[in-house]
Amino acid sequence: MSEKISEALGTNEIRESKASHSNIIVRNEKQTQDFQLWLELNTEAIKPCAHSIEETEQYFLALYDVDPLAGDSAEMQAAKKDMILNLHRNELQSAALDSEENSGSAVDWKGGPPPAEFRERLHRAILALAKEAEEASAEQFGLVLKGYRMIRNEKSEKCYLQNEQETRKMKEEYLRRNRVQNRKFEFFDEEAPDIFVVFEMNSGEIQVTNGGGLYIDLVLFRGVREEDIKEHSSRFITYTYALRDSQK
């Protein structure tokens, strides 16, 4: 990554929504300007370097030993739900309810903590979207999902160790925050769970569970097309974040 891009990033809070890599959260006018500058600098610096999703899948399979996931497994069903919410949210019937339910409150809310009524309505809308996506089929939205569990061995040990380190840091931060607030707390074991990877073969989306470093590697290998750079597509934005997080 160029020095100009790094400087544009600075310490400003520009980040991605966990729900979708295409949903960028910016908190004020300066951050909006910084984000636009960041996109412009990346547009100039990044060249087309795309691989297909099939090539990306084969790249992953050549590096690691895996077990294929059954279509009805909990991991594949969770991936299906997330893919529908990320790629086809506006096609869900609940999306119209989400917009209608919150439009009035959004106009009246001038700042500060959101009103309790607004939070409750938003909560109901989110639950409705999640339930509809959970009950829908992959075929209904043209999703073609291929999923794998990464077998832990010499090939994948680095990924698992990195995940355990990230889990440990998250636990330490969680415990520190709750001690400060004098609350009772519990936390899961430090040993990281299995790493799962799901490819959506039509959109080219990738989902990695319990393996942030692996996700960055796959996104960088997948790369970006010329049209992604020109249009500032979600694939382009995800790629720029992967570049930043990889410190390349």
Instruction: Report whether pLDDT(4) > 80.
Output: no
Find the mean pLDDT for residues 37-57: 92
Strand, helix or coil for residue 85: helix
pLDDT confidence bin for 96, thresholds 50/70/90? low
* 172-216 pLDDT, tens digit each: 887 787 776 666 656 555 566 899 999 999 999 999 999 989 999
Closest CA to 217 of 183, 193, 248: 248
> Does position 65 have pLDDT exceeding 70, yes or no?
yes
- Cα dist from 117 to 99, 127, 130, whole Å: 15, 15, 20
Top-confidence residue, 95 or 81: 81
Overall average pLDDT of the 68-83 stretch:
96
In this prediction, residue 247 carries a pLDDT of: 77
CA distances from 98 to 43, 82, 92 (A): 34, 17, 10
The answer to whether residue 106 scores a pLDDT higher than 70 is no
Task: Note the pLDDT of residue 8.
Answer: 38
